[in-house]
Amino acid sequence: MPARVQGFIGLVSAQALLGTIGLCVLESGADPVSVAFYRCVIGGLMLALYCSWQGDLVTIAHLAPRTLLLAVVSGI
């Protein structure tokens, strides 16, 4: 698949997901803080899976402990 087509499919699917998230939140009746928390948790897990699939977690594991600590603290 050409890179341009792959990029187009990725863009369209991302916009479809973002466009329907509001409807899902309204229909669930959940409070906004819970929705934001679970979206962050699910997004973090998906990012970790993607990084693992691409082999980027090995690079992260070789960072200095202080750098990892700063990255974790900055994400809180």
Provide block-wise average pLDDT over 10 residues at a time, the chain (76 residues): 88 86 82 86 88 84 87 81
Q: Tell me how far apart the alpha carbons of residues 8 and 12 are, in angstroms, rounded to a whole number.
A: 6
What is the model's pLDDT at position 66?
A: 92
pTM of the model: 0.58
> Of 46, 5, 42, 49, which Cα lies nearest the Cα of 21?
42
Q: Which two tokens stand for residue 55?
A: 């082999």
What is the model's pLDDT at position 53?
A: 87
Q: Tell me how far apart the alpha carbons of residues 46 and 39 are, in angstroms, rounded to a whole number.
A: 10
